[in-house]
Structure 1
Amino acid sequence: MQIHFIAIGGSAMHNLALALEHKGYVVTGSDDVIFEPSKSRLEQKNLLPLEFGWFPEKIHDELDAVILGMHAKPDNPELLKAQQLGLKIYSYPEFLFEQSKHKTRVVIGGSHGKTTITSMILHVLDYNDINVDYMVGAQLEGFDRMVHLTEENDFIVLEGDEYLSSPIDRRPKFHLYQPNIALLSGIAWDHINVFPTYENYVEQFRIFVDSIVKGGSITYNEEDSEVKNVVEATENPIRKFPYITPKYRVEEGVTLLDTPEGEMPIEVFGKHNLNNLAGAKWICQQMGVDEADFYEAVASFVGASKRLEKIAESSNKVAYKDFAHSPSKVRATTMAVKEQYPQRKLIACLELHTYSSLNLDFLKEYDGALDSADEALVFYSPEAIKIKRLQEVSSAQIEKAFNKQGVNVFTDANTFKEYLFSQEFDETALLLMSSGNYGGLDFGKLKSHFQ
């Protein structure tokens, strides 16, 4: 099989390219820019384009398929050539479905928690020597790639993202997988550039539940009222397995999970992660893992990359970074760190970086999201607002949106960094939440403050 990737450098796309190379396919690709770590990982397997840009001559009749990434535009010259030649063009999720048509497809969906739940499942399966195909949105400890595809494995575990499939396929990715076993963790409005109303966003999850193969199953977070409504309303003849947050307690910075064998210390923490764990357990049991084997395995799960990742610690101070940026994730993550370190001052930093978080109409969704923090710092770049061609947002409007007394809003990266590095971190928990990097924050320098 000869496969060409248009926009090979993306996080998801380059991992799929690596997976197909590992499977023995002939892989080529193009992109106009490729950042690390994609660049080095592609180079290591001789998949890095010799020069950046789009080259229609790379598209020819010998190709079995072209995979089109979201980074490309509808008028991409390579795409136009592929269409002209009548080649088979797949979006990323379409190709994953094509590779898994004859497998049992396990799809983890939800506005939040899906990466962590998928990662937990893969960790437990790996611990128990159960081989599966997979696609997950974060790098996992002990796994070479974020995508793994074979001919022989019976199961494939897929993180089900609700974002669009490709520039020419405006369907959410998770609508294309047709799961046999599905999970829905939560629904909280996001991606407002694509789903302009809350109702429109919720509708995507209804379609997802209705896309489950007849006779399949949906495992769902019963504590989320919107999830409960969506699942209970479906007329799809599927089995329904609700789950709730299990009992747990925190003692001296250690989370103890209540299990049939007694209390068990675990590495992850926070109510939202314990809720994720309950969902992962249900899915693993449906995949043949005994409850006792699940608990034994999950005890050593330390989390997915960039999800409540501990970056520094000494005797009386600790620092975490987290990918959280949507209101529901920010609220849950901030609460989790405060619950884990109740005696310490919690400094919570949030970068407003995405289209949704910088949208004036959406900002009100952040009301109360940082309430668990003792000190809240919010950073955003007015330049990012201009680049995204959004209506100008003022510091006063952001302060009002968070509705928290004393929230500090920064619009200059250097001023934010100077303030952060001037802090005394003794008896403190620092939480950095962003899908960006705070205008170039030096994490190495920050770590030195926690020695």
Structure 2
Amino acid sequence: MRLHFIAIGGSAMHNLALALHQKGYTITGSDDMIYEPSRSRLKKEGLLPGEYGWFKEKISEEIDAVILGMHAREDNPELERAQQLGVSIYSYPEFLYEQSKEKTRVVIGGSHGKTTITSMILHVLNYHHKNVDYMVGAQLEGFDTMVHLTKENDFIVLEGDEYLSSAIDRRPKFHIYKPNIALLSGIAWDHINVFPTLDEYLEQFKIFIDSIVKGGILVYNEEDKHLKKLVEESNNTIRKHPYSTPEYHVENEQTLLHTSEGDMPVSIFGEHNLQNLAGAKWICQHMGIDEEDFYEAIASFKGASKRLEKIAETKGTVVYKDFAHSPSKVMATTRAVKQQYPDRHVIACLELHTYSSLNSEFLLQYKSSLDTADEAVVFFSPEAVENKKLDPISKEQILESFSRKDLTVYTNPVDFKEFLKEQNYDNKVLLLMSSGNYGGLDFEEIKNWIS
């Protein structure tokens, strides 16, 4: 089968291209720019386009299907050519569904925690040598690609994103998968450029719950009031399994999970991560892993990339990087770090980087989200606000929105970098929360600053 990827350099897209190439498909692709690590990984397999740009001559009737990435616009010349020729066009979630029609589909959804939960499940299954197909949005230790597709595996585990599928398919990705087993971690309003009201956002999760195959299973976080209400109101004939935060305590900067076999140390920490663990345990049990075997495996789970990832440590200092950007995740992550390190000075730095976080109205959702940190810093780029065609934001608006008088606000990446560089890091924890890089911060440099 010959497949052409429009926007092959995307995180999920390049992983899917590599997986299908390994499966024996003939793969070509295009993109207007490809960054690392996608570039090196595609080049290694001979899939890197010879030059950047869109070339309609790459599309012919000999191609069996085109896979369209979210990065490609509706007027993309290769897409238009495929439409003219009548070539089959799929978004990547559509193609994943086509590849998994005969499998048991396990879909992990929710506004936050889905990458971590999916990663936990895959870690446990891999530990016990249980082979499954999968798609997850972060690089995991011990896995070459983050999409794996076979003919023989019975299960496929999919991270179910609620964002749109492509420029010509405006359905949220997780509406497409039709899970046999599903998990929802919680709901916190996000993607306001697509879902401008909370009710519209909630509706997407209602549709997802109704899309679960009849007789299927939904595992859900009963501590989330929005989610609990939606699940209880659903008339879908599915089995519903609630979960909540397991019992634990923190001792000498170590989280200990309370189990039937006694206290068990785990590398992850914070209530939100332990909720994730509880949900992952339920899913693994539905996939044939008993509780005892789950705990044995999860003890060695160190986390997914950029999800409370420890990037540096000395005797007196620890540095974490986290993908947190939504208000609820920022609050949960900051609280988790302070709870884990109660006797250290916690510096929490947040970059406002997404469309939602740079919206002046949505900013009010961040009230008190950084309160548990001993010191709090917010960075944003006025250029990013302008590029997203949003109303300008002032430092005063940031201070008012976060409702913290001693908050420090930076808009210049050089000034922010100097702030980090000049810190006395003795007995401190630095928490860097962003889906970006603070205007070009080299995270490797931080190791030199704290030593």
Q: TM-score, normalised by structure 1?
A: 0.99
Q: Give the letter for the 1:397 counterpart.
A: Q
What 5-or-longer segments of structure 1 have no aligned partner? none
CA shift digits 1:301-340 (9 cap, x unpaired): 0000010010111112110000111111111110111010
What 5-or-longer segments of structure 2 have no aligned partner? none
1:127 aligned partner: 127
2:45 aligned partner: 45
Q: Give the letter for the 1:131 counterpart.
A: N
What is the rounded CA distance, in whole Å, between the counterparts of 2:26 and 2:364 in structure 1?
Answer: 49
1:440 aligned partner: 440
1:157 aligned partner: 157
* Aligned-pair CA distance for 1:62: 1.2
* Aligned-pair CA distance for 1:374: 0.5
Q: TM-score, normalised by structure 2?
A: 0.99
Secondary structure in 2 aligned to 1:171?
coil
What is the rounded CA distance, in whole Å, between the counterparts of 2:77 and 2:311 in structure 1?
Answer: 43
Counterparts of 1:212-223 in structure 2 under 5 Å? 212-223=212-223
Secondary structure in 2 aligned to 1:4?
strand
Q: Give the letter for the 2:223 counterpart.
A: E
Secondary structure in 2 aligned to 1:89?
strand
Q: Give the letter for the 1:334 counterpart.
A: T
Q: Give the letter for the 2:441 counterpart.
A: L
Counterparts of 1:21-100 in structure 2 under 5 Å? 21-100=21-100
Secondary structure in 1 aligned to 2:178?
coil
CA shift digits 1:349-386 (9 cap, x unpaired): 00001100000110001011101111000000000011
What is the rounded CA distance, in whole Å, between the counterparts of 2:57 and 2:359 in structure 1?
Answer: 41
2:113 aligned partner: 113
What is the rounded CA distance, in whole Å, between the counterparts of 1:37 and 1:446 in structure 2?
Answer: 21
Secondary structure in 2 aligned to 1:430?
strand
2:315 aligned partner: 315
What is the rounded CA distance, in whole Å, between the counterparts of 2:335 and 2:406 in structure 1?
Answer: 18
* Aligned-pair CA distance for 1:444: 2.1
What is the rounded CA distance, in whole Å, between the counterparts of 1:419 and 1:253 in structure 2?
Answer: 26
Q: Is structure 2 residue 363 aligned with structure 1 residue 363?
A: yes
What is the rounded CA distance, in whole Å, between the counterparts of 1:430 and 1:73 in structure 2?
Answer: 38
Aligned pair count reads 451
Secondary structure in 2 aligned to 1:166?
coil
Q: Is structure 2 residue 406 aligned with structure 1 residue 406?
A: yes
1:244 aligned partner: 244
2:3 aligned partner: 3
CA shift digits 1:219-257 (9 cap, x unpaired): 000001111001111000000000010000111111100
What is the rounded CA distance, in whole Å, between the counterparts of 1:234 and 1:217 in structure 2?
Answer: 13
Q: Is structure 2 residue 246 aligned with structure 1 residue 261?
A: no
* Aligned-pair CA distance for 1:450: 2.4
Q: Give the letter for the 1:92 counterpart.
A: Y
Q: Give the letter for the 2:405 counterpart.
A: Q
What is the rounded CA distance, in whole Å, between the counterparts of 2:249 and 2:40 in structure 1?
Answer: 42
Q: Is structure 2 residue 366 aligned with structure 1 residue 372?
A: no
What is the rounded CA distance, in whole Å, between the counterparts of 1:80 and 1:410 in structure 2?
Answer: 43
* Aligned-pair CA distance for 1:442: 2.3
CA shift digits 1:282-306 (9 cap, x unpaired): 0000000011000000000000001
What is the rounded CA distance, in whole Å, between the counterparts of 1:372 and 1:3 in structure 2?
Answer: 50
* Aligned-pair CA distance for 1:108: 0.3
Q: Is structure 2 residue 348 aligned with structure 1 residue 343?
A: no
Q: Give the letter for the 2:338 counterpart.
A: K
Q: Give the letter for the 1:141 counterpart.
A: E
CA shift digits 1:257-304 (9 cap, x unpaired): 011101100111111000000000000000000110000000000000
* Aligned-pair CA distance for 1:405: 2.3
What is the rounded CA distance, in whole Å, between the counterparts of 2:426 and 2:335 in structure 1?
Answer: 20
1:12 aligned partner: 12
* Aligned-pair CA distance for 1:40: 0.5
Q: Identical aligned pairs, as a percentage?
A: 71
* Aligned-pair CA distance for 1:175: 0.2
Secondary structure in 1 aligned to 2:264?
strand
RMSD (Å), alpha carbons: 0.6
What is the rounded CA distance, in whole Å, between the counterparts of 1:324 and 1:46 in structure 2?
Answer: 34
Q: Give the letter for the 2:404 counterpart.
A: K
What is the rounded CA distance, in whole Å, between the counterparts of 1:126 and 1:419 in structure 2?
Answer: 42
Q: Give the letter for the 1:219 counterpart.
A: V
* Aligned-pair CA distance for 1:68: 0.3
* Aligned-pair CA distance for 1:61: 1.0
Secondary structure in 1 aligned to 2:450?
coil
Displaced runs of 4 or more, over 2 A: none
